[in-house]
Structure 1
């Protein structure tokens, strides 16, 4: 295999593993994202424990607890069904308190607002409310939607409020537009973020039950929703990995592509004995030694035939042919004829000189080959007969 193909293969494997690992991380992130009982870096375990120490009975629920007054902490994404929103607002109007952790635009306000999208720097958000005792909040999201003049602003950056609440009926809708600021992985560096959240909850409910609604509102529930959200989150953040993976496939395909149509490997088949004899007969005929080849073949065959027939060496070919026919049932009638032809050629070579040599060179090549093949056929028949006798 060429080095470029090996490199392409290794690159494709590495990118496939990298892509798979990235997707697995995204899935795991979405399965634990904002979960109050998850101690992973994307969970809310730190906030969960702090609320418990503050005297709250924290419960994780999958459906909105309409039978209680809350507070209910719920997470909203890009879509909240209208029926779900109306049900929650009716519950708030009757005296409930909901904390909307908005991943994008707030979805639970009972009226339309003009939002401003800001990208925070390292500057912390501040509050003029005495209840927060001057504690700063450090947003961790890449950006969020703020209100310039909300009904009741709590925390702002240069007058743009990211935490605020609105009264609705007998209850309240609290909007928190930076849910990532309370993730476990950020609380180690910014523990005051969890303190701000706890002080906010205490302002609306001094104690009692507190509900975390998980999965987010609008999700279909279960692993299917988590996997769907993972796919949505995977695209913008790990699109580069996907592009690298596709590039690796293209490089690998280019490196291993054949130029032109694939050709089958040549079959290495040995030359047949017939081809060998044909070429050998031609060479010896050109050298004037065609019958020399036949003489050697005949001598070997007569020796083997004598051994099979259990006759002494030098037995005449006629007698050998008769005995072989009787023993094997084969047809060896041409054996004496070929022997006579070879003997005659030997005699001519001994007494004819140049004239005999010219006559031998005029011998038909096909006749030499036919005689050689006949002797070879006799030899193969004897071999087959001997093997059959051994098997018996």
Structure 2
């Protein structure tokens, strides 16, 4: 029997097509209310000044839990149920969202519907766009039957914040989407209200993660990279630094998820993987050396530029002095010629 070993790799490198357990375990992370609040904090700027507990305390409802703002820590060990909310589509099928909760604005009494979707499969662009738009439409439509949503006369529709997390992407970045409106004549108060209301109704993001997240300077990418493409210890250390209190649900969710960041390899694959990891470390080391050398070259270049500037100033002064000396010599030559002419006249 060949020897086996578990080696940590980037999720994209070890992703198994149509692996339901990987996808389910990734979604389980967002079921925890503190991780949900942490993702909100790191993704949407309006939540950044607030603590995890403050954000969690603003959640008005998720299945089985109606938090008490007066005792925000009483429900930190609760989790969002994946079976809620569900929508019956016209063809009779059900759509089950990963996480869709109602949350109060951090400053005002305004309520928002916040939807988070994590998908550990690589989706073709058309499918990704179609699913995103379909979910957004349903998140609006389902408010007609929600006590926190709008009434049947369409009064009280709440704005929607939507986040897709793709932790095994081949690219790295954040795609932000909002409604953009345009009115082709001079606006009045009614049109201005319609436009502002329309443009604030949807705030949608798609976050693409790959192994390059470590080198990103973006706070959202760094946070989601720590949560969805790290190892369990680093993820927990990150959460604790951000103020997340460790609970049984977090311990279980992280354990289940990060177990799928390991891959069992036979001896041949193990050798190839170790060699690849060794090369990556060498490339990173070389890159650090190149960056160090580049900083030295930049420093030297600045020094040479300063020296060159000083030399140019010296040359300019010398040129000025030389020009002045030539002028004086020319004047002396003229004076001497005049004196010699007068002497010649005198001798005659």
The TM-score, its normalising length taken from structure 1, stands at 0.18
